[in-house]
Amino acid sequence: MLLSHPSNIGAISCQILQCQRLSKKFYIQVSGGVNVNTGKGKPGGDTHVNVGGKGVGVNTGKPGGGTHVNVGDPFNYLYAASETQIHEDPNVALFFLEKDMHPGATMSLHFTENTEKSAFLPYQTAQKIPFSSDKLPEIFNKFSVKPGSLKAEMMKNTITECEQPAIEGEEKYCATSLESMIDYSISKLGKVDQAVSTEVEKQTPMQKYTIAAGVQKMTDDKAVVCHKQNYAYAVFYCHKSETTRAYMVPLEGADGTKAKAVAVCHTDTSAWNPKHLAFQVLKVEPGTIPVCHFLPRDHIVWVPK
């Protein structure tokens, strides 16, 4: 069953997304296990989001809870990686070269599950809340966040990243509601065929995974990739590129755990920071070879029809 957004967002295939705008619900099918339900319009309402089937659950929680501040987001390609990040960040293992993506290839992977629970706000509510670095005191006050706390630093980092310019060849946008993320994806891709995320049968530690037969290319050139950010409510950092290939990759872990992982390959990395995590780990230079990464379980890729 395919249903459309009231403002002509087109058809998107997959499991059911539920949302609410102007008291009118729309339902969108989203594949690969993205299941979203937006609640009644205020922080602490009944909004909840599940990304990736058995993947990450994003639920309404109390503002001001504990937070891990992730400095040097590896999916922001302007960043240089620190030595600590290279040795300790589990996302290091997610980067690989496109030529190594074939059945029988093995990789040591850890598909992390974000423990920071945050809710999507309904569109009308999100539009009324400031989202800019010059409004941080007002934002902290609204969500009862103590300035200087880990939560405050996390929120500040997210806004700072959102305010940075996009790298050459990409367009970026930070979506503060489900509706705005869908609308942005439609505006950049036209009709959207599907939105997919990584699915893993169960949470496991770092282990070897083998690529199984059935690697599926979902798009040859462009896609919108949205990365879940740490914030008081659900915010996704989305970027669109004309030099991106997206794949669905079947994997089987050493312990038998099966996964369907979304892989995004960037065919032009010439504008990335030369000290980006991918170049240091893979020992390649910017712009010389396609660089790929699997998406963590709470990130989403939108592909055109």
pLDDT tens digit sequence for 48-71:
333 333 222 223 233 333 323 333
Residue 177: CB atoms within 10 A of its CB come to 24
Pairing mode, if any, of strands 56-59 and 48-51? Answer: antiparallel
Average pLDDT estimate for 64-88: 53
What is the reported pLDDT for 89? 62
- What is the per-residue pLDDT for 53? 32
pLDDT, averaged across the chain: 76
How far is the first Cα of the chain from the last one, in angstroms, to the nearest whole number? 16
Over the stretch 139-184, which tens digit does the pLDDT of each residue have? 999 999 999 999 999 999 999 999 999 888 889 999 999 999 999 9
Mean pLDDT within 73-79: 64
Reported in sequence order, the residue ranges of the chain that DSSP labels E, i.e. its strands, are 15-21, 24-30, 34-37, 48-51, 56-59, 95-97, 106-109, 170-175, 192-196, 199-200, 207-211, 216-219, 223-228, 236-241, 244-253, 258-266, 291-294, 300-304
d(CA 59, CA 234): 9
Predicted pLDDT at 121: 94
Tell me, what's the pLDDT at 126?
96
Supply the pTM of this predicted model.
0.74
Encode pLDDT of 200-228 as tens digits. 999 888 899 999 999 999 988 889 999 99
Higher pLDDT, 68 or 251: 251
